Amino acid sequence: MTVIAIDKDLCTGCQECVKICPNLAIEGVPHQPQTLNEQKCVMCGQCVQKCKSYVSVAEHGFGAYEKIRVQRNLPPTVLEPLFAAYNVCHLDEVLRALADPNVETWVQSAPAVRVGIAEDFGAPLGSLAAGRLAAALRRIGFDKVYDTNYAADVTIMEEGSELIDRVKNNGLLPMFTSCCPAWVRYLELNYPELRNHLSTTKSPQQIQGALMKTFGAKAQKTEAKKIFSVSIMPCTCKQYESSRPEMIDSGHRDVDVVLTTRELAYLIKLKGLDFLGLPEEKFDLPMGDYTGAAEIFGVTGGVMEAALRTGYELITGQPIPAVDIKAVRGPDGFRTADIAVGELTLKVGIVTGLKNVKPVLDDLKAGKLNLHFIEVMTCPEGCVTGGGQPKLIVDKDFEAAYQARTEATYLHDRELPIRKSHENPSVKKLYESFLKRPLGSESHKLLHTTYCGDPKSHAAHH
């Protein structure tokens, strides 16, 4: 499916996109329109963030602007410049579902969205807006407003248990995180022989989607086929992930449509909401209950830290000495750390930015990589810097935004009353009443998958 596109009528060939593309998918010569090779594109959307060529009402007139806006299926309230590199918009599908009285619209929102969305309404970079985000989604008309953070806590229960199982039972190591779909696609395209190193645990988006149409449908006494599942993501590749044929373990497409943070801002403006004036509200329970560990999924090193907070206590049976594991934090390209977990020394690695993963994979193939667990995030500093986050126009704003969004994420983690995934009371109840145990038969059916190594065929193997 087409997720990212380059408008040749707008592209000036500045090649800002070429410099940022992690898989050399953008081809062309300077000062000429560039071409996107969809077979190589990992759909991370960093080209969308960096693109400098645009059409605007002020510079090109209403007629030229309106033509592009209509072509891209954007609502009439969109007045901002439209850039040559863009992600395909799915707002019309969401609007149709919201208007259909026979459909139940359920929405989930990722951790990085709440530290980005307010920027599109004039708030300072990195403003935390979790409560206003929940309020906005409710006023837009979604029937259930859930939080992907809940599923991030579930992800840690499954992925942490999977890691422990591999370490204790001589499983295939290192295990790579699999919650970033652009990274998974990169591996499938370039190193398919290493795909079994990926965790089988699905991403939080897909876990939440599967739970919505099974556990959630049962709890709400409704039918899965009536639920239209929407996710709000900082990532352009999540739409591709949700469309993969293996993501139907609820018996239906687990996530029907994905909107980026930017597209949610379009929707909020279309509905005439004063975002910054909205009250602070909570996400719906139980799938809106979350911990600090889930929140830090949005920053580089966050999945690793969340897994370690829980893994330490599952392995040792003791409280972790320090919840903040600063050794795995930071924006460096590739870093490693040795973490003492009882008698075990867990060797971990964190890859920040997909351009830094090739040497790691080459070392793995050469037998030179002695690690247990590796987190890989495609975007420069994790999901807070995703391709679907608010567009930054001035280059100097990138670093400031990255820093502000990261700081807001860690602040939110510190402020939350529970900071370890296995202590989330709603997740405990989920296992007691529905899943029974991590890596159990129901968990395996709904929350795990394997990757075929050929992203064109996407055969599912359970």
Q: Which residues are catalytic?
A: 159, 162, 179, 199, 238, 241, 246, 383
Q: Residue 253 corresponds to which tokens in the numbers above?
A: 């497409």
**Residue spans of beta strands (DSSP E) within 297-449:** 334-341, 344-352, 373-377
The whole-angstrom distance between residue 222's C-alpha and the CA centroid of its chain comes to 27
**CA-based end-to-end distance of the chain:** 24
Contacts of 61 (CB under 8 A, 6+ apart): none
| Best CA proximity match to 174, nearest among 304, 369, 439 | 369
Contacts of 377 (CB under 8 A, 6+ apart): 180, 183, 300, 303, 351, 352, 353, 354, 383
Cβ atoms within 10 A of the Cβ of 90, count?
Answer: 18
DSSP percent split of the chain into helix, strand, coil, nearest 5: 45, 15, 40
| Best CA proximity match to 229, nearest among 248, 254, 211 | 254
